Amino acid sequence: MKSLRLINPSPSPEQIQIEIADQKKPVIGPTEALIKVSMAAINPSDVKASLGHMPQAVFPRTPGRDYLGVVEEGPKAWIGKTVFGSGGDVGITRDGSHASYLVLPTNALIEKPSQLSDAQAASMGVPWVTALDGWSKAGFPAPGDLVIIAGAMGKVGLAAAALAKLYGAVVIGIKRRNTAPVPGHACAELLDLEDPDLEKKLMDLSLGKGYSCVYNTVGSPYLDLALNVLAHKGKQILISTLDRNCSFDIFKFFRKEMTFYGVDTLKMDTVASNKILKNLIVHIASNRLILPLEARPTIYTMEDAANGFSNTLKNGGVGLLKIS
C-alpha cells in the first residue's frame, strides 16, 4: 500500500516535491469507515496547498480532497459499496485521498450513483460543492431568473450553470475568447469577456432589466462588469480572484442595494461538504441534472503525480490520480 507525502511546501509549481511512501493499513474507530481508494482528483486547491499558499495546511501530510473508493471496513451495511466525496479537511489539515487507504467518518459516506462514471464521481467533489454552497448562500434561482456565470467554462462555472438551469434559470455564460465551449454546457448564450460590446450585449439580452445574480468564479476581471449589469438588489457570488485588492464603485453598490456572497469550501470538513453534495443525488438519479460533457481528465500514476500537480495548476481543470 502506498501514499503520496508532502513533507514541506514545494518551492514552485515547476518544482513540486512529492514523495511516495509505504502506507500501513489504518486502524479505524467505531464511528469511522476505511475506504480503499481507486481514484482521486488533483484539484487546483490541492496544488496551491502543496505550495504553502493555504495557512491551515499541515506538513507532512498526504494530499487529495476528492475521492472514489470502496468501503473495506466499517458499518456492515456499507461494506463493499462504492463511495465518493470531498472535504475541506481531507488532504489539507489531515491525510487525504492520494493514498491506497482513506479514513472517513461514517456519516460522511455517499454511495456513488450508477449514472456517474468513476471519473466523474472522483473529480466532481470540490467544483460541485463550491457551486452548491454558493447557490445555497445566495439563494437558488427561481424559474425564469436571468443569471450570469462568469468563467462559465471552468469546472465550478460549468457546475454552477448546470444547477441554475436545473432550477429553471436562463443562464448567460461569459468566457475568455480563447476558451473553447464545453459540449453540453448549460448556458443559453455564451459571450466573450474581451468583446468590447459585452456590457451592451448583456443588457440587451436582459431587455435592459439586468440580472438577479452573477456567479463570479474568477473574481477581479468580472467585478466591475457584474456591478454594472446586476439588477436592483442583485447578488454576486465570489469564490476566487486574480487580484486581491480590487476597486469598485461603492456608491453604485449600495445605491442598487446589492449583496456579495463569499464561498470558501476549505472551511467545511468532509461531513459538511458531503451533506451539501448529497443534494445532487436525487437530481442525478432522476436524470434532471444534465452534466456537461467534459473531456475525461488526464489520468496520472502515483509515480507521475508531480507532473499532474504542475499541469493542473498550469492548465486549469482537474487531473485524476489512479490509485488502484
Nearest to 20 by CA among 233, 315, 302: 302
Q: Amino acid letter at 28? A: I
Answer yes or no: do 13 and 87 share one domain: yes
Indicate the residue among 262, 279, 296 that finishes a domain: 262
User: pLDDT (tens digit, 9 = 90+) per residue, 208-241?
Assistant: 999 999 999 999 999 999 999 999 999 999 999 9
Residue 295 has a pLDDT of 86
Answer yes or no: do 134 and 258 share one domain: yes
* Cβ-contact 161, 187 below 8 angstroms: yes
* Cβ-contact 187, 152 below 8 angstroms: yes
Number of structural domains found in the chain: 2
Domain CATH code at residue 44: 3.90.180.10
Answer yes or no: do 236 and 278 share one domain: no
Answer yes or no: do 90 and 19 share one domain: yes
Q: Helices 220-229 and 198-205: crossing angle, nearest 10°?
A: 40
Answer yes or no: do 197 and 312 share one domain: no
User: pLDDT (tens digit, 9 = 90+) per residue, 25-48?
Assistant: 999 999 999 999 999 999 999 999
- 178: Cβ–Cβ under 8 A, 6 or more apart, which residues? none
Q: How far apart are CA 114 and CA 158, in angstroms?
A: 21
The Cβ of residue 131 has, within 10 Å, a number of other Cβ atoms equal to 30
Q: 177 is written with which cell numbers? A: 475568447
Q: Give the H/E segment covering residue 162.
A: helix 155-166
Q: How many CA atoms lie within 13 A of 45 on its CB side?
A: 30
Answer yes or no: do 96 and 153 share one domain: no
pLDDT 10s per residue in the chain (324 long)? 999 999 999 999 889 999 999 999 999 999 999 999 999 999 999 999 999 999 999 999 999 999 999 999 999 999 999 999 999 999 999 999 999 999 999 999 999 999 999 999 999 999 999 999 999 999 999 999 999 999 999 999 999 999 999 999 999 999 999 999 999 999 999 999 999 999 999 999 999 999 999 999 999 999 999 999 999 999 999 999 999 999 899 999 999 999 999 999 999 999 999 999 999 999 999 999 999 998 889 999 999 999 999 999 988 889 999 996
* Cβ-contact 199, 228 below 8 angstroms: yes
Q: 94 is written with which cell numbers? A: 489531515
Q: Helices 155-166 and 125-138: crossing angle, nearest 10°?
A: 50
Answer yes or no: do 137 and 258 share one domain: yes
Task: Give the largest CA-CA distance in the chain.
Answer: 62
Answer yes or no: do 48 and 139 share one domain: no
Answer yes or no: do 244 and 304 share one domain: no
Q: How far apart are CA 286 and CA 154, in angstroms?
A: 25
* Cβ-contact 23, 99 below 8 angstroms: yes
Q: Are strands 32-42 and 67-73 parallel, antiparallel or unpaired?
A: antiparallel
* Cβ-contact 67, 40 below 8 angstroms: yes
- Supply the DSSP string of 294-320, one letter for each residue: PPPPPEE-GGGHHHHHHHHHHH-S-EE
Answer yes or no: do 92 and 140 share one domain: no
The alpha carbon dihedral of 124, 125, 126, 130 has a sign of: positive
Indicate the residue among 215, 233, 262 that finishes a domain: 262
Total residue length of the chain: 324
Q: How far apart are CA 233 and CA 41, in angstroms?
A: 37
Answer yes or no: do 177 and 274 share one domain: no
Q: How far is CA 212 from CA 58, 147, 204, 209, 221, in A?
A: 40, 6, 15, 9, 19
Cis peptide before 55 (omega within 30 of 0): no
Indicate the residue among 239, 262, 285 that finishes a domain: 262
Nearest to 186 by CA among 157, 165, 213: 165
Answer yes or no: do 8 and 25 share one domain: yes
As beta bridge partners, residue 82 has 70
Residue 296 has a pLDDT of 85
Q: Which domain holds residue 249?
A: 130-262
- 117: Cβ–Cβ under 8 A, 6 or more apart, which residues? none
Q: Given the C-alpha cell 480532497, which residue does it identify?
A: 65
Torsion of CA 49, 51, 56, 60, to 10 degrees: 90
Q: How far apart are CA 202 and CA 17, in angstroms?
A: 45
